[in-house]
C-alpha cells in the first residue's frame, strides 16, 4: 500500500517567494545565515495588527521581508519557520518579543565511518532463519536517511512509501537539492531513492535499510537477512548536496549533509501518516554536535515528541566521534532511543562509538554486512549500523505486543540483552541480543539484573558459538578436518570447520572465547580476520 494521501495537507509547508529581494544579484546581497525561527502562536488576530501570530508565516513575511532572502518556509508546524536572514535580520529576530527562539539550521552527517570495510566479516540479524514468527510481519519502519535503492534484491517488495525533503540554500554553506524533481520537496513514488554513488555519503540509506528489514536472500550459499525481514519500510530522503571541501572532510566533493529543517519536515510528515501506515519506528542514523546531557531544547525535540506521543519509537545513532560522556543530536533528545556500538566480541567500540548518560542500548557496529547501493553487498562500520538493528528488534516486539508502549518494548530489549561494561568508567550498558530476545518471555518487561565482573570482558550471555575467519594472506590452510582436529586438541571443544571459498566458518561447542580466538589465529595466521557470524545461516 502506497501512502501519499496526506501530502496535500502536509504541503502546508507553504512557501513565499520574496520576489523583490530574491531577484537581487548575489554579489550585491549581504552575507546571510540560514536559521530556524520558533514563533509564539496565537489564535487571536488581535495579537498583531495584521493578525500575524495567528499566521506566523505571514508575520515573518510582513515584518522581515527586507531582511530575508530567497524563500521563507514553514516546517510542517505553523510556528516553525526556516529562512535565510541577514545579520541585521537575525539580530532583530532575537529581540522580537513574538519570537521564542532563533537557532542555526545546523547540519547533520551520516553516522558511519565513510569506509567500506571489505575485509571484515561481521553480519547482522542473529535470528533463527527457520522461525517465521520472529520476522516483524505487518510492521513498518521509516528510514530517514540518504534515500534507498528499493530495487536491491535484499529490499525488493518492502517499500511502502517515499518522500524527499532536500533544501536548496543560497546562504553559506550552499546546497543543492537531491530530490529527483530538483525541488525541495517531493512526496511520490521514486522520491525516496538513494542519491548518486559519486557523491560521498550516498548509499548510506540503502545499507541501513538492509540491516533493519533486508532479505532473506541467499548469498554465497548462506541465507542472509536483516533483523526484521518481514517488515516494510518508508524511505525518507533528507540530505542535500554540498560542494565545499571544508564540509566534506577533505578535498573530495561533493558530499551529503542534512539540514535540521529538512529533518523537521520529514518528522512532521511522518507524524501525519503514522496512523494510516501503522508506522512503528523511525530510524535516524545521523548526528550533529556533542552533548553531555539531555538536549530537550534541541529544535528537533517538538517534532520528535509528537511521534513519541503517538507511540512511534524514534531510534538514533549516538555518533562516531569516540566521545566518552557525550553523544550527538538527535540521540541526546529525551524520548529518543540512543544507540551506541559494540565490536564483534561484544566489547564497547571505544575507537568510534559515542556513549553518554543518554545512551539507551548498544548493538553491533563493526563491519556489518548489508545491501550496497549498486545491488551487491558490503560491510560498513559505525553507530549508523547499530541503530537499525535496534529499530528492527523493536518491530519484532511490536508484532508480538501490538498494544505495548515503546518504553515497555525497550525494557524487554534491555532485559533480554547482554551486559557490556565500559572499562574506562565502570558504567554498565546493555547490548542488543536477538537470539536471547527470541527466547525471551515477551510478557516480561522488568529490566535486566546485571552482575559485576571484569570490566574489559564481561558479557552476561553466552559466547558466540559461530565465527567466520579470513586467513592471513600467504598462509596455507590445511584441509578442514585437519583444522577441526587441531582446534579440538588445543581448545578441548567439539569443533566444525567449513571452507567457504575465501573464508571459513567455525562452529565451536561452548562458544569461542579469547583463548579459542588465539588458537584459531595460530592456525590461520596472526593477522587473520575473525568475527561473529551473526547473519549467515546454513540451509541445513
The set of cell numbers assigned to 367 is: 563491519
The set of cell numbers assigned to 137 is: 510481519
* pLDDT score of 15: 33
Q: What is the arithmetic mean of pLDDT over 101-121?
A: 67
Is pLDDT of 86 > 60? Answer: yes
Q: First vs last Cα of the chain: how many Å apart?
A: 35
Is pLDDT of 49 > 50? Answer: no
Q: What is the arithmetic mean of pLDDT over 343-350?
A: 91
Which pLDDT band holds residue 148 (cuts at 50, 70, 90)? Answer: very high
Q: Are 401 and 221 within 8 A, CB to CB?
A: no
Higher pLDDT, 134 or 205: 205
Is pLDDT of 125 > 70? Answer: no
Cβ within 8 Å of residue 409, ≥6 positions away: 313, 394, 397, 398, 401
- Asked whether the CA dihedral 39, 40, 44, 50 is positive or negative, the reply is negative
Domains detected in the chain = 32-105 (3.30.70.80), 109-439 (3.40.50.200), 465-533 (3.30.70.1940)
Is pLDDT of 453 > 80? Answer: no
pLDDT tens-digit readout, 272-317: 999 999 999 999 999 999 999 999 999 999 999 999 999 999 999 9
Q: What is the arithmetic mean of pLDDT over 368-380?
A: 93
pLDDT tens-digit readout, 468-515: 888 888 888 999 999 999 999 999 999 999 887 777 888 888 788 888
* pLDDT score of 25: 46
Is pLDDT of 533 > 70? Answer: no
Q: What angle do CA 22, 28, 32 make, to 5 degrees?
A: 65
List the beta strands (DSSP E) in 87-152: 99-104, 107-110, 140-145
| Bond into 173 cis (ω within 30) | yes
Is pLDDT of 121 > 60? Answer: no
Is pLDDT of 53 > 70? Answer: no
* pLDDT score of 279: 98
Q: What is the arithmetic mean of pLDDT over 129-144?
A: 78
Q: What is the arithmetic mean of pLDDT over 88-99?
A: 91
* pLDDT score of 18: 31
pTM score, two decimals? 0.77
Higher pLDDT, 39 or 124: 39
* pLDDT score of 505: 82
CA distances to 3, 239, 339 from 107, in Å: 28, 9, 20
Q: What is the arithmetic mean of pLDDT over 203-222?
A: 92
Q: Are 324 and 352 within 8 A, CB to CB?
A: no
Q: What is the arithmetic mean of pLDDT over 186-202?
A: 94
Amino acid at each position: 500500500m502506497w501512502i501519499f494521501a496526506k501530502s496535500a495537507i502536509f504541503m502546508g509547508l507553504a512557501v513565499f517567494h520574496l520576489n523583490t529581494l530574491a531577484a537581487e544579484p548575489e554579489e550585491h546581497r549581504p552575507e546571510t545565515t540560514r536559521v530556524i525561527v520558533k514563533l509564539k502562536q496565537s489564535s487571536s488576530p488581535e495579537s498583531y495588527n495584521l493578525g500575524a501570530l495567528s499566521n506566523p508565516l505571514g508575520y515573518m513575511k510582513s515584518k522581515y521581508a527586507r531582511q530575508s532572502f530567497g524563500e521563507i518556509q514553514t516546517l510542517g508546524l505553523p510556528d516553525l519557520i526556516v529562512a535565510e536572514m541577514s545579520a541585521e535580520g537575525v539580530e532583530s529576530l532575537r529581540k522580537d518579543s513574538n519570537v521564542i527562539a532563533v537557532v542555526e539550521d545546523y547540519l547533520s552527517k551520516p553516522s558511519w565511518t565513510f569506509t567500506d570495510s571489505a575485509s571484515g566479516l561481521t553480519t547482522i540479524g542473529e535470528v533463527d532463519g527457520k522461525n517465521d514468527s520472529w520476522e516483524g510481519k505487518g510492521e513498518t519502519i521509516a528510514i530517514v536517511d540518504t534515500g534507498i535503492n528499493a530495487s536491491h534484491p535484499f529490499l525488493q517488495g518492502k517499500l511502502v512509501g517515499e518522500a524527499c525533503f532536500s533544501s536548496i540554500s543560497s546562504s553559506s554553506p550552499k546546497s543543492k537539492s537531491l530530490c529527483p524533481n530538483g525541488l525541495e520537496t517531493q512526496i511520490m513514488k521514486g522520491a525516496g531513492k538513494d542519491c548518486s554513488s559519486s557523491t560521498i555519503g550516498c548509499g548510506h540509506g540503502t545499507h541501513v535499510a538492509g540491516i533493519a528489514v533486508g532479505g532473506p536472500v541467499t548469498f554465497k550459499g548462506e541465507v542472509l537477512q536483516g533483523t526484521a525481514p518481514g517488515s516494510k519500510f518508508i524511505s525518507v530522503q533528507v540530505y542535500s548536496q554540498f560542494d565545499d571541501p571544508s564540509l566534506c572532510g577533505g578535498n573530495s566533493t561533493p558530499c551529503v549533509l542534512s539540514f535540521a529543517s529538512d529533518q523537521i519536515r520529514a518528522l512532521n510528515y511522518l507524524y501525519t501518516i503514522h496512523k494510516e501506515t501503522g508506522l512503528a519506528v523511525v530510524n535516524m542514523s545521523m548526528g550533529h554536535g556533542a552533548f553531555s546531557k539531555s538536549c530537550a531544547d534541541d529544535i528537533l525535540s517538538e517534532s520528535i515528541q509528537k511521534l513519541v506521543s503517538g507511540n512511534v519509537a524514534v531510534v538514533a545513532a549516538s555518533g562516531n566521534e569516540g566521545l566518552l560522556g557525550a553523544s550527538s543530536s538527535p540521540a541526546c533528545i529525551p524520548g529518543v532511543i540512543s544507540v551506541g556500538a559494540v565490536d564483534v566480541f561484544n566489547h564497547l567500540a571505544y575507537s568510534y562509538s559515542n556513549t553518554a548518560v543518554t545512551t539507551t542500548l548498544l548493538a553491533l557496529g563493526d563491519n556489518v554486512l548489508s545491501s550496497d547501493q549498486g545491488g551487491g553487498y558490503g560491510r560498513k562500520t559505525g553507530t549508523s549500523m547499530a541503530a537499525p538493528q535496534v529499530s528492527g528488534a523493536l518491530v519484532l516486539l511490536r508484532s508480538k505486543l501490538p498494544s505495548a508502549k515503546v518504553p515497555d518494548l525497550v525494557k524487554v530489549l534491555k532485559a533480554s540483552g547482554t551486559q557490556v561494561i565500559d572499562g574506562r568508567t565502570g558504567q554498565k550498558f546493555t547490548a542488543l541480543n536477538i537470539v536471547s530476545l527470541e527466547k525471551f518471555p515477551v510478557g516480561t518487561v522488568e529490566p535486566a539484573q546485571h552482575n559485576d565482573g571484569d570490566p574489559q570482558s564481561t558479557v552476561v550471555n553466552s559466547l558466540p558459538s559461530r565465527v567466520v575467519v579470513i586467513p592471513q594472506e600467504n598462509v596455507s590452510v590445511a584441509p578442514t578436518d585437519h583444522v577441526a582436529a587441531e582446534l579440538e586438541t588445543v581448545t578441548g571443544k567439539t569443533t566444525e570447520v567449513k571452507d567457504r571459498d575465501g573464508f571459513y566458518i567455525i562452529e565451536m561447542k561452548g562458544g569461542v572465547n579469547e583463548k579459542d580466538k588465539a588458537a584459531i589465529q595460530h592456525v590461520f595466521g596472526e593477522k587473520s580476520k575473525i568475527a561473529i557470524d551473526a547473519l549467515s545461516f546454513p540451509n541445513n
